[in-house]
Amino acid sequence: MTSLTDVRCRLERLAASHACELLDAAFRGDRLRLVIDHCEGVTHDLCANVSREASVLLDAEDFGPASGYVLEVSSPGLDRELYGVRDYERFSGSRVRVTYADAGTTHRRTVRGQLLGLSSDDPGIALLLEDDSGDTLRLTIDSIHKTRLLVEL
């Protein structure tokens, strides 16, 4: 049986053939969720086409647990998670919610603020906090558990 790590590169090429990017491929319970993005937005038809072709690819690779899985292809959504350095650059200036590991502990903290972009001196981000302090928080990419855009309606 082929692992997700083994087929991820082929899934990335499949997404690229549709002029989109595979942001994430992960199991959530019995569901394999592929998150794709496109510069002009992700449509239902795009998700359906990628899903159909990914299903054929995964079946040909003898992929997945013996108990089976459900394939789900979706957009990152309005409150999208940021998946890497390119996303931190792309969404610089946006309001975000960041969950990170507190230095020297296993505790996680969650803060809200404006993403100021990548720090120039280390592999990390700078975040202008939305609390009364107005401080700038600098975090290494490795310490960040999850970053999501905050939707402003």
Residue 49 included in any domain: yes
pLDDT tens readout for residues 19-68: 999 999 998 888 999 999 999 999 999 999 999 999 999 888 877 776 78
Q: What is the CATH number of the domain that holds 119?
A: 2.30.30.520
| Boundary residue ending a domain (19, 40, 74) | 74
pLDDT tens readout for residues 96-132: 999 999 877 789 999 999 999 887 667 789 999 998 8
Q: Which three-class secondary structure state does DSSP give residue 3?
A: coil
State whether 69 and 10 are in the same domain: yes
Residue 108 included in any domain: yes
Contact between 47 and 36 under an 8 Å Cβ cutoff? The reply is yes
Q: What is the CATH number of the domain that holds 39?
A: 3.30.300.70
> How many domains does the chain fold into?
2
pLDDT tens readout for residues 2-28: 788 888 999 999 999 999 999 999 988
State whether 23 and 61 are in the same domain: yes
Residue 99 tokens read as 């969950």
Residue 79 included in any domain: no
Give, in order, the Cα–Cα distances in Å from 106 to each of 82, 136, 148. 22, 22, 21
Give the range of the structural domain holding residue 24, as residue numbers without chain letter.
Answer: 4-74
Residue 80 included in any domain: no
| Boundary residue ending a domain (45, 74, 103) | 74
